[in-house]
Amino acid sequence: MNILLATDFTEAAKHAINCIHQITQTWTSRKEIHFTLVHGFKPHVPYSNTPSIPVYYDPSLKSSLQQKLEHEKGSLQFTMQVDTLFEEGPLPLVIESAVKNKKADLIVMGTRQKSAFERVTVGSNTAEVMQKVNTPILAIPLEAKCKQMKSVVLTSDLESINIDHIHFIKKWLQDNHAQLKILHVSDKDKNHETLIKKTAMHHHFSETMHEHHFVYNNDPIAGIQEYIGKEKPDLLIALPRDKNFFQKLFHISVTEDMVYHTQIPILILP
């Protein structure tokens, strides 16, 4: 498996890299995993931390960031097989290129929640990557605890599911020795048992140990957040039909404190 580790040298990126390292420690395919640290270099930087201030060209920045990337690689080589990819351009475009060149099977990205501005920028990066590639993305919030993913929740809208996604989920469950819970969110109580038996998803997971869970809410995102807050699973697997799904799920209103906002890793299958 080829895994891309997106890094901007922030605590969020370091946390995500540390988490995927810990998660894959017990995988039977551990020796077959190859990691690539990916950094998208922007030669123009702002005069200050204020986004509205004009930018200037810093010729020494490229060399400094390359050294940072190699230093980060050096600190990881003792525990994982890793190389680096350093390219000029916005991170989503650099990752899109890396996915093709490295034949990546998974992209790991950190997300941070310290401020509204950071949440918007990081969330937008991940959402844009999701639109550009068809590779699974593991988004790990800075607040998420690094632990084995024994309890996995898959969101379902009872629509058809890509067979490649089925294979990926089954392999993920096997590697993590995880239990699968399929979450259905609807605005009213329906005859779910009859509906589920008619779906391709039910057929594909018939030989995989799993449970079906139901939440009634007219807002699917709020329903997912409610379930996560109550059940506290280790991972959410999302099959977003709506490209704004990630932003809706990860964004917290500046004025409203959402009790059930997501603080667990999300595996996005575009």
Percent with pLDDT over 70 in the chain: 71
Percent with pLDDT over 90 in the chain: 18
Where does the chain have alpha helices with state H? 11-24, 61-76, 91-102, 116-132, 163-176, 192-197, 200-204, 220-231, 245-250
Q: What angle do CA 31, 33, 38 make, to 5 degrees?
A: 145
Given this model, what pLDDT does residue 256 score? 34
Q: Distance between the two ends of the chain, CA-based, in angstroms?
A: 18
Residue 51: pLDDT band with limits 50, 70, 90: low
With a cut of 50, say whether residue 49 has pLDDT above it. yes
Q: State the Cα–Cα distance between residues 176 and 24, nearest whole angstrom.
A: 8
Residue 243: pLDDT band with limits 50, 70, 90: low
**Stretch 238-247: mean pLDDT:** 62
Given this model, what pLDDT does residue 221 score? 77
Evaluate whether 211 touches 242 at the Cβ level (below 8 Å): no
Residue 45: pLDDT band with limits 50, 70, 90: low
Given this model, what pLDDT does residue 116 score? 43
Q: Which of 1-5, 165-169, 195-199, 235-239 is most confident? A: 1-5
Q: State the Cα–Cα distance between residues 175 and 184, nearest whole angstrom.
A: 25
Given this model, what pLDDT does residue 120 score? 41
Kindly list the structural domains of the chain, giving each domain's residue range(s) and its CATH number in brackets, ordered by start: 2-141 (3.40.50.620), 151-268 (3.40.50.620)
Taking CB atoms within 8 Å and a gap of at least 24, the contacts of 187-190 are 187/216, 187/217, 187/218, 188/216, 189/216
Q: Which residues contact 183 (CB under 8 A, 6 or more apart)?
A: 153, 154, 155, 156, 213, 214, 215, 224, 227
Taking CB atoms within 8 Å and a gap of at least 24, the contacts of 246-253 are 246/123, 246/126, 246/127, 246/130, 246/139, 247/123, 247/124, 247/127, 248/221, 249/221, 249/224, 249/225, 250/111, 250/119, 250/123, 250/126, 250/139, 250/141, 251/119, 251/120, 251/123, 252/113, 252/116, 252/119
Read off the pLDDT of residues 103-135 as tens digits, 9 standing for 90 and up: 999 999 988 655 444 444 445 677 778 778 889
Question: What mean pLDDT value characterizes the chain?
Answer: 77
Residue 17: pLDDT band with limits 50, 70, 90: very high
Gyration radius of the chain's alpha carbons? 19
Q: State the Cα–Cα distance between residues 29 and 22, nearest whole angstrom.
A: 14
The answer to whether the Cα torsion of 17, 18, 19, 22 is positive or negative is positive
**225 vs 259, more confident:** 225
Given this model, what pLDDT does residue 20 score? 92
Q: State the Cα–Cα distance between residues 206 and 193, nearest whole angstrom.
A: 14
Q: What angle do CA 63, 40, 66 make, to 5 degrees?
A: 20
